[in-house]
Structure 1
Amino acid sequence: MDQTIGFIGTGNMGSAIAKAAAKSGLAETILLANRTPAKAAALAAELPGGTLSTNEEIARTAKLIFLGVKPQMMQLVLDPLEPILRKREDRFILVTMAAGLTCDRIQDFLDMDCPVIRIMPNTPSAIGAGVVQYCGQLVTVEELDAFAALLAPAGLVDPVPEGLIDAASAVSGCGPAFAYLFAEALADGGVACGLPRDKALSYAAQMLAGAARMVLESGQHPGALKDAVCSPGGATIQGVRVLEEDGFRAAAMDAVIAAYEKTLKLK
């Protein structure tokens, strides 16, 4: 299904989703607009079908209008587009990726009962290893299926009830930052033990990638996979002991909960 899609905002998240959509081959034209046009122009040069555009042109012509703007900026961005959207006689769908803003809230900003898809992507979507949760309001099943196909190159594209999407975002949307922090800490530990920095970071990153695949592909509980690495009286169990003493699991849980609670305050 060839179509024109548009991205209003080409920051880290907007760019990641635009790159995934371009890989699907389902968008004939990808219109890109950003507050700093040079940023959108650079992305347009990377993408098949990518074209530098404006917010107004995207509002007039795109079938899918991705809103890659911060929650606190959404009203300011949508206000001047409202009269343009009202004049449209064809069907269009707004796609919001703003943390904390519900489909209802987007409709309220415009005072329009227009179709809205809400997504919570993460930055690894740009390389096909991401997670994108989505839900829709006033959107047909067929449209949601086509949307999921468009974003399939992003990685795991999963429907979630809107009531759970903030919790999902706290895990997979914020999670990469937590994972990067862990990778950096592991590498620092390796450097402290004498490893060269580049090797320590490479080993830590590849280990995390491999461990994640084991969870996804083995079907085993992470606890069982952990136990399989911890030989009696061995080095690994001593490392696990120190992590437990320092509250590693509690800290990880608290990080997700803190991110979730902050998201709720953005509504």
Structure 2
Amino acid sequence: MKIGIIGTGNMGRILAEALLDSGAVEEGSLMAVNRTLAKAEALKKVYPGIHVAEKAAEVAHFADIIFLCVKPLESRGVLMEIASFLAEEKCLVSITSPIRTDQLETTADCSVIRMIPSITNRALAGVTLVTYGEKCSSDWKTKLGELIRKISEPIEIEQQYVRVASDIVSCGPAFFSYLLQEFVLAAVNETNIDEERATNMASGMLIGMGELLRKGHYTLPALQEKVCVKGGITGEGIKVLENGLGDMFRDLFRATHAKFKEDLEHVEKQYRS
């Protein structure tokens, strides 16, 4: 199966790297293109066997499955450019959350899927969100599922939950890396522990906690209960968190949903025109 990547920015490159490193696709079966050609060429320096195109249409012509990894407001223009190459037997996969599959299907005659990856896929881990278009064939559902399982766990998501699921799966690593960084800096400022050592400790803790959850040893509440000894030090720290967090996470989801609504309106205008 030939793979096409249109857009090798952050997520497009991560997707290409994950697919190649996992062995899901061989280098000679992948073609990439980017508006700034140097970014695609940088990927080729790491994976010399891949093909680099100058135009998106070349990728659409070459590939069986085309991953559209461009910004939401750029997608319509690219889609119009490649539409004539999207034959019925092919599959178009968009990785941007504001664009619905039914919008893509107004232009693409092939199977259409929306897939929302995560930076965790670079470690061949985490979750990838999937929404299938109405016209998506069962064959392409199976093929994409097999690809995704090489780099992550696929979870099918309904339209009304796309934003909150994306916040958890795709934006979550940024949110929690920020919290972890603040945790480390507070430790450094309060105790003068070396920042590098504290970062290594915190990173190891987070990875270990992830393994406890992945292997099913504890749920989140059970983990807290096991670590918190009645009247102990951890409990005092939990009290601070309980008093200090307030509505912070609810405000976070409100902010991301408000921006998402804005993006939806802009995309809707493009696909109506």
Task: Normalising by structure 2, report the TM-score.
Answer: 0.87
Measured against aligned partners, the alpha-carbon deviations of 1:37-80 in whole angstroms (never above 9, x if no partner) come to: 11111112323742111311012121111000011111122222
Distance 1:51 1:208, change over 3 A: same
Check the 8 A contact 1:121/1:132 in 2, yes or no.
Answer: yes
Check the 8 A contact 1:170/1:260 in 2, yes or no.
Answer: no
Post-superposition shift, 1:82?
Answer: 2.5
Is 1:136 matched with 2:136? Answer: no
Q: Which residue of 2 aligns with 1:43?
A: 43
Percent of residue pairs bearing the same amino acid type: 29
Alignment of 1:42-191 (within 5 A): 42-47=42-47, 49-53=49-53, 54-85=55-86, 88=87, 91-108=89-106, 110=107, 112-137=108-133, 138-191=135-188
Distance 1:48 1:155, change over 3 A: farther
Q: Distance in 1 between matches of 2:113 and 2:48?
A: 24
Count of residue pairs brought into register by the alignment? 259
Shift >4 Å, 4+ stretches: none
Measured against aligned partners, the alpha-carbon deviations of 1:67-102 in whole angstroms (never above 9, x if no partner) come to: 0001111112222223444xx4x6111100012111
Q: Distance in 2 between matches of 1:74 and 1:143?
A: 21
Could you tell me which of 20, 23, 26 is aligned with 1:25?
23
Check the 8 A contact 2:213/2:219 in 1, yes or no.
Answer: yes
Check the 8 A contact 1:92/1:115 in 2, yes or no.
Answer: yes
Task: Normalising by structure 1, report the TM-score.
Answer: 0.89
Unaligned runs of at least 5 residues, structure 2 = 265-273
Letter in 2 for 1:118: R
Check the 8 A contact 1:8/1:33 in 2, yes or no.
Answer: yes
Check the 8 A contact 1:134/1:160 in 2, yes or no.
Answer: yes
